[in-house]
Amino acid sequence: MGFEKKDLDVVLVPSGLLIMFGYHLFLLYRYLHQPHTTVMGFENYNKRLWVQAIMQGERRDIGSCVSVISSNITAATYLSSVSLTLCSVIGAWISNNTNNFFESGLVYGDTDSTTVSIKYVSLLLFFLIAFSCFVQSARHFVHANYLISTPSLSVPLKRVEVAVIRGGDFWSAGIRALHFALNLLFWFFGPIPMFVCSIFMVLFLHYLDSSSTPLIEEFDGRQVVKKVEQRLSEMATAIHMPSHQN
């Protein structure tokens, strides 16, 4: 038996998925062991500084902080609604037994009804994962909103940091699931577009995920004021010393 066009799905589709999963495993390793080299690690570091500044600042500035968290909740809720809507559309499409474009001869690859069903189920799975991640992201941001707006000052700083960072992590996971769904969407047009999309998406994500920006150094404002006052006193002493010598 020779190599047929339907065999491309067996070779190119697993290869494309392997490239995507391999890149994200490499990204996860960098995120856990070298977080400063990734955009997510850089953003988490800035979020920690933001939480520390908010919790140590004046309570009258809480309104602006709550609005920042609320905007993240709104974005996560919107994308979760979009993901759920797409899941419903795909489910309705699967229940439709009529032939469509993706089963026609225009697609260079396996157009068998079983393969098409696998395409729909795979796409549906990643949209469901995205929906779940965005819901969890909104949940953690809502919890952070409660903690930040608590009138009591006894709320541990670590709890707020964990809630904000976990909300961002679930948000990133939901976005990644949408990237996988976009990749699988190209599979409907054949295994070759899907494989090409995998390569270009990995290159594009590597560019977006890499960070060479140095981390912001933490400092204490009171120490800065003390150093400035000390420097001014030294300058004043240096100015008065020549006059005393004369």
Residue 3 φ/ψ, nearest 5 degrees: -80, 120
- All residue ranges of the chain with pLDDT < 50 are 1, 218-225, 228, 243
Six token digits for residue 62: 């809480």
Task: Please count the other Cβ atoms lying within 10 Å of the Cβ belonging to residue 168.
Answer: 18
Kindly tell me the burial class for residue 155, based on how many C-beta atoms sit within 10 Å of its own C-beta (0-12, 13-18, 19 or more).
middle
Nearest partner of 59 among 148, 119, 140, 125, judged by Cα: 148
For residues 129-138, one letter each, b for 16 or more C-beta atoms within 10 angstroms of the residue's C-beta and e for the rest, the string is bbbbbbbbbb
What pLDDT, on the 0 to 100 scale, is given for residue 56? 74
Listing DSSP states for the chain in one string gives: -PPPGGGHHHHHHHHHHHHHHHHHHHHHHHHHH-GGGBHHHHHHHHHHHHHHHHHHS-GGGHHHHHHHHHHHHHHHHHHHHHHHHHHHHHHHHHH--S--GGGSTTSSS---HHHHHHHHHHHHHHHHHHHHHHHHHHHHHHHHHHHHT-S-S-S-HHHHHHHHHHHHHHHHHHHHHHHHHHHHHHHTT-HHHHHHHHHHHHHHHHHHHB--PPPPPP--HHHHHHHHHHHHHHHHHHHHHHHHH-
Six token digits for residue 108: 């260079």
CA 18 – CA 24 distance, rounded (Å): 10
What pLDDT, on the 0 to 100 scale, is given for residue 58? 62
